[in-house]
């Protein structure tokens, strides 16, 4: 596979309070992915940061050819993700978290999966996270498997490739989950008849700032929210 055979991609990252790391993260994605694929776009959905993230993004916008979607108020991860995916123009959409825990170079081995599948997830096989998060992930994925019949290692991974067909389908759906919405998209893609696979990817410890993962103190509320909305996810609009 050469860069000449790669379809133009839309790379989307959602950013909130990442002043310490965002320039490094953007530079890595640009140098390892978007700069190598003619016609690609790099969309950054900034979600109401107050720590200087906005100013850094504005400073590096031209250097890394960014399309910035910046907001004063916080719209939330799910809404920011949907805004970014909805703005994407290219046939392949590459979505990633912006915490610097993924290696952008894993894009290339994930891309190969799009020849046979509509969605390719990164599977953090050797995951560098706190023990409680590892346990939560295992339980959550078991629950997804039992309830929906979708048996993958990491349904909620925020590092994925999607083709235009599955993206257009997902944008026609209601996005119900405020938390773990990546898992919702995975389930809906499978139940909508699209091919979904996963590829082992690198996962690093976070170098800068605090984790933006699920906060322990909100876990009871999050669990109730997810369980309450699970039944609704089963009903899809195919129009």
Per-residue DSSP letters for the chain?
Answer: --GGGSPPEEEEEEESS-TTTHHHHHHHHHHHTGGGSTT-EEEEEEE---SSHHHHHHHHTTTTTEEEEEESS---HHHHHHHHHHH--SSEEEEEESSS-S-GGGHHHHHGGGGT-SEEEEEETT--S-HHHHHHHHHHHHHHHHHH----S-TT-SEEEEEHHHHHHHHTS----SSSHHHHHHHHHHHTT--EEEEEE------SS---S--GGGHHHHHHHHHHHHHHHT-----
Given this model, what pLDDT does residue 219 score? 67
Q: What percent of the chain has pLDDT over 90?
A: 66
pTM: 0.89
Domain ranges of the chain: 7-233
Higher model confidence: residue 128 or residue 65?
Answer: 65
CATH topology of domain 7-233: Spore Coat Polysaccharide Biosynthesis Protein SpsA; Chain A (3.90.550)
Average pLDDT of the chain is 89
What confidence tens digit (pLDDT) does each residue in 9-64 have?
Answer: 999 999 999 999 999 999 999 999 999 999 999 999 999 999 999 999 999 999 99
pLDDT tens for 65-103 read: 999 999 888 999 999 999 999 999 999 999 999 988 899
């Amino acid at each position: 596979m050469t860069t000449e055979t790669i379809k133009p991609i839309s790379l989307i990252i959602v950013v909130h309070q990442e002043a310490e790391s965002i320039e490094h993260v953007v530079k890595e994605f640009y140098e390892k992915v978007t700069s190598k694929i003619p016609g690609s776009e790099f969309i950054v959905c900034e979600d109401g940061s107050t720590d200087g993230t906005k100013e850094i993004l504005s400073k590096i916008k031209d250097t890394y050819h960014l399309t910035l979607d910046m907001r004063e108020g916080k719209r939330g991860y799910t809404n920011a993700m949907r805004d970014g995916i909805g703005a994407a123009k290219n046939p392949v959409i590459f979505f990633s978290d912006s915490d610097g825990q993924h290696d952008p170079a894993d894009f290339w081995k994930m891309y190969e999966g799009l020849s046979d599948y509509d969605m390719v997830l990164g599977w953090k096989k050797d995951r560098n996270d706190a023990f409680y998060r590892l346990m939560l992930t295992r339980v959550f994925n078991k629950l997804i498997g039992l309830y929906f019949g979708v048996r993958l290692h990491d349904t909620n991974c925020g590092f994925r490739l999607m083709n235009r067909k599955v993206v257009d389908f997902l944008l026609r759906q209601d996005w119900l989950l405020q938390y773990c919405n990546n898992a919702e998209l995975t389930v809906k893609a499978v139940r909508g008849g699209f091919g979904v696979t996963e590829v082992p990817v690198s996962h690093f410890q976070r170098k800068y700032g605090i984790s933006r993962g699920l906060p322990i103190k909100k876990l009871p509320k999050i669990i109730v929210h997810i369980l309450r909305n699970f039944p609704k996810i089963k009903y899809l609009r195919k129009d």
